[in-house]
Amino acid sequence: MPSVVQPEVVNIWHNCLKIIKEHVNQQCFKTWFEPIRPVKLEDSVLTIQVPSQFFYEWLEEHYVNLLSKTIHQELGSNARLEYRIVIENKSTNNNSTPFTVNKPTHTNDAPGYLKKPNQPESAPKEGIKNPFVIPGLKKMQFDSQLNQNYTFETYVEGDCNQLARSAGFAVANNPGGTAFNPLVLYGGVGLGKTHLAQAIGNFAKENYPSVSVLYVSSEKFCNQFIDAVKYGSINDFINFYQLVDILIVDDVQFFADKDRTQDIFFHVFNHLHQSGKQIILTSDRPPKDMHGMEERLISRFKWGLTTDLQIPDYETRLAILEKKMHAEGIELPREVVEYISYVVTTNIRELEGALITILAQASLMKLEIDLPLTKKILKNFIANSQKSISIDLIQQKVCEASGVAYDQLVGKSRKREFVQARQIAMHFAKQYTESSLKSIGRAFGGRDHSTVIHACQTVSNLYDTDISFQQMVDNIEKQIKMSM
């Protein structure tokens, strides 16, 4: 049961917030200080609770002097600050781990500087420094190498990954007992393959404590095999991997052209599969496109389910950002979040990178985050996205949205719906490609540059005066961006 915070502690922190509010803009205050909760005050040490490790690190890096001066002003020069970081732990109740922050002993530091605390002690992780020791008769113990943050709860499902997520959840509930063995997850960089694969491992590990789970990158597997050859312990190496219940191998395409490694992995794969153990593989391409792989290995990769993770659509990107912000205790205007989701379309890593960039620059410039500032900060993201849009793509999306055939779009007909669709396509071609007006006109049935200029002016005028036309253009633009 949570302890009751003393009223005087609440009042002290309230006074601190009033001081802080005078030195930062409203958005920074709302994002980085409102989520903080006072915990206790003992011997001039004020303990405050922050929602995450990221949150704590950001405060320490950007607002450490302000916090220190504020605490000193409110509690005196001997006052110190202690952070309590909320860490979710499913094996116990939601506990918090304290991080003590002290003034440094060296005198040359700026007044009020708060020293970065040491991380809390935890049980040492042995890793897989030497996996080549044959385990004893009892269940072997080793670090699964899983990232505890990669769970199904933190994984956002959308049309782009629905099948992969559903298959992964089925495997996690019944490892080795489904037809999805092996489960091969493939897709481009930053689309969540590693997250989903490790989510399976974390779920199985939590719900089936007796099951041994191991996550390993293909590069690490190769290096371990090289060491096994070097020290004459190949049999121990094989025995270790054959005793794993759930084996997750990341970026398996890197086994290409490594014949001896492939041969060893083939034997490990066969043994695990025949023993009813679960195998999960990730790759940047489907098995059929894994050049440099032995055919017998590729055929085994195809035994189970191969499913891809695609670039997330707009709605999924929006959900990913909202979940990220909620986890980190961040609040932004809705229109800003929608805009980020709208223009950053490549992968999840760049989406999260865009969010961090906006927060960092706005904080450093001490500006409130709004839509104009967001557009300014993300102009490079947008520029990079625009370069990937072609006239062909624009024509395709306009045809799909308007119901006009391609031949009608580039033809000579002056029928109203054909002309309007043609003008919209020309408008987007000028806006989103680097093609000259002459090149754009040529792509629309050999028209001249003056026709393109007239089309752009017509679209602009109608957009400002006709709401239904505006909605149609906005919808087409969204479809173009979501197809990149």
Axis crossing angle, helix 314-328 with helix 467-482, rounded to the nearest 10: 80
Residue 300 CB contacts under 8 Å (≥ 6 apart), including other chains: 182, 266, 269, 270, 273
Cα–Cα distance measured from residue 147 to residue 155, given in angstroms and rounded to the nearest whole number: 13
pLDDT of amino acid 124: 36
Pairing of strands 95-101, 80-87: antiparallel
Query: In the chain, what are the domains?
Result: 7-101 (3.30.300.180), 162-309 (3.40.50.300), 314-386 (1.10.8.60), 391-482 (1.10.1750.10)
pLDDT of amino acid 380: 63
Residue 42 CB contacts under 8 Å (≥ 6 apart), including other chains: none
Q: Per the omega criterion (within 30 degrees of 0), is the bond before 182 cis?
A: yes
pLDDT of amino acid 77: 84
Going by the DSSP 8-state scheme, the letter that residue 217 receives in this structure is E
Cα–Cα distance measured from residue 169 to residue 180, given in angstroms and rounded to the nearest whole number: 11
Q: How far is CA 12 from CA 67, 227, 341, 403, in A?
A: 13, 59, 39, 65
pLDDT of amino acid 30: 78
Cα–Cα distance measured from residue 209 to residue 141, given in angstroms and rounded to the nearest whole number: 12
Structure tokens at 378: 């993300």
Burial of 182 by CB count in 10 Å (0-12 exposed, 13-18 middle, 19+ buried)?
Answer: buried
Q: How far apart are the first and last CA of the chain?
A: 50
pLDDT of amino acid 104: 32
pLDDT of amino acid 202: 94
Closest CA to 71 of 116, 99, 41, 51: 41
C-alpha angle 403-408-410 in degrees, rounded to nearest 5: 120
**How would DSSP label each residue in 326-372?**
HHHT----HHHHHHHHHH--S-HHHHHHHHHHHHHHHHHHT----HH
Cα–Cα distance measured from residue 43 to residue 59, given in angstroms and rounded to the nearest whole number: 23
pLDDT of amino acid 121: 34
Question: Within the chain, which residues score under 70 in pLDDT?
Answer: 1-5, 27, 52-54, 57, 61, 86-141, 380-388, 481-484
pLDDT of amino acid 129: 45
Structure tokens at 69: 């001066």
Q: What would the pLDDT profile of 28-81 be if each residue is shown by its tens digit?
A: 787 788 888 888 888 888 888 887 666 776 787 678 888 888 888 888 888 888
